[in-house]
Amino acid sequence: MKKRLKLATRAFGAEPGMPDIAALAAWIGTHRGTAADIITYFLDQSLAPQVSAEILTTCAGGRFYKNRIMHCLSGIEDGKVTDEISLDSQKVREDAEKIVFRKKSAWCAVPAPHLLGIADAYYGDGAEWNDALSGVYRALMRSMRDAGITGHVLICQDLLEPEILSLSHQKVFFFQPAPDRTGLEYLLERQVQVAVNRSQLDVVLDLTSEYDIRTIILMDPDPESIAHALSCLDPDQLAVGGYCTEMCDDYWTNLVDTAVYTKG
């Protein structure tokens, strides 16, 4: 008899839309007595639907977290670093505590350093500037992990060697929504898990003969792509991933419903 079984599900953050006044007022009403702002709201709204849908590995945050990071940095004027860069970690630690209160073992997604768009007008040396900014990120992530966050997803537009070399860690996942083969190869030099969309599935399956890939995370799959992946992989080598960039209320539930396969 055939059985329908579930694959593991993993989130890589979300980008909640700007709320209308009524929705924001209702949310504020449920958070009276706590320090909260619009970033707190976005963090909560990125995570809450994942929790309701019972995503296995949840992840608050998204590219929107850039605004929090920028507000916590000193040494920057008009998008340029003009002095020694440093981080006041109090707010990010408070964010982490709120995330963990909502869901223990959650991850947090933040934009990779290059997505901050900061120009160097102080260090004058690319390597030194990368070291300084990477040091800030390590401090940020360490502060959030100390508050209970399990790890971080770094959302990338580009896969930059200096960033990856500086920030690779067992609790850091570099997530580029659509890497090409060269990008996948570079990521697999540094991490044993990789996220790909359906169009990249054959490419990463081909790379399993060259790299030690522990888990392939298939983004927004359909039944056909899951079946194709499982023709080459064991179920424990495959997970289903999501990164919601539009309306998220049903997105995560639909993702969980899709993460099934038959056995027997």
Per-residue pLDDT of the chain (264 residues), as tens digits, is 567 889 999 999 999 987 777 777 777 666 666 777 889 999 999 999 999 999 999 999 999 999 999 999 999 999 999 999 999 999 999 999 999 999 999 999 999 999 999 999 999 999 999 999 999 999 999 999 999 999 999 999 999 999 999 999 999 999 999 888 998 998 999 999 999 999 999 999 999 999 999 999 999 999 999 999 999 999 999 999 999 998 787 999 999 999 998 876
**Residue 80: left (phi > 0), alpha (psi -120 to 50), or beta?**
beta
3-state secondary structure of 162: helix
Ordered by where they begin, the domains of the chain are 3-68+96-116+150-263 (3.20.20)
Distance CA 247, CA 46 (A): 10
Dihedral pair phi/psi, residue 78, rounded to 5°: 55, 45
Q: Among the residues of the chain, which ranges form H helices?
A: 21-29, 38-53, 66-72, 90-102, 126-146, 161-167, 181-188, 201-207, 223-230, 251-258
Structural tokens at position 47: 């995570």
Rounded to 10 deg, the angle between the 38-53 and 90-102 helix axes is 30
Token pair 């260090």 in the structure block, residue: 123
- Position 260 scores a pLDDT of 93
Ranges of H-type helices in 73-200:
90-102, 126-146, 161-167, 181-188
Question: Can you give the pTM of this predicted structure?
Answer: 0.94
Whole-number pLDDT of residue 32: 64
Residue 10 backbone zone (phi > 0: left; psi -120 to 50: alpha; other: beta): beta
DSSP label of 31? T
List, in sequence order, every residue forming a beta bridge with 81; answer none if it has no partner: 76, 120
* Terminal-to-terminal C-alpha distance of the chain: 6
**Phi/psi of residue 132, nearest 5 degrees:** -65, -45
Distance of CA 18 to the CA centre of its chain: 20
H/E stretch holding 154 reads: strand 152-155
Residue tagged 């990463």 (tokens): 204
pLDDT score for 1: 56
Tokens of 97: 């505590």
Among all chains, which residue has been given the structure tokens 């609790």? 171
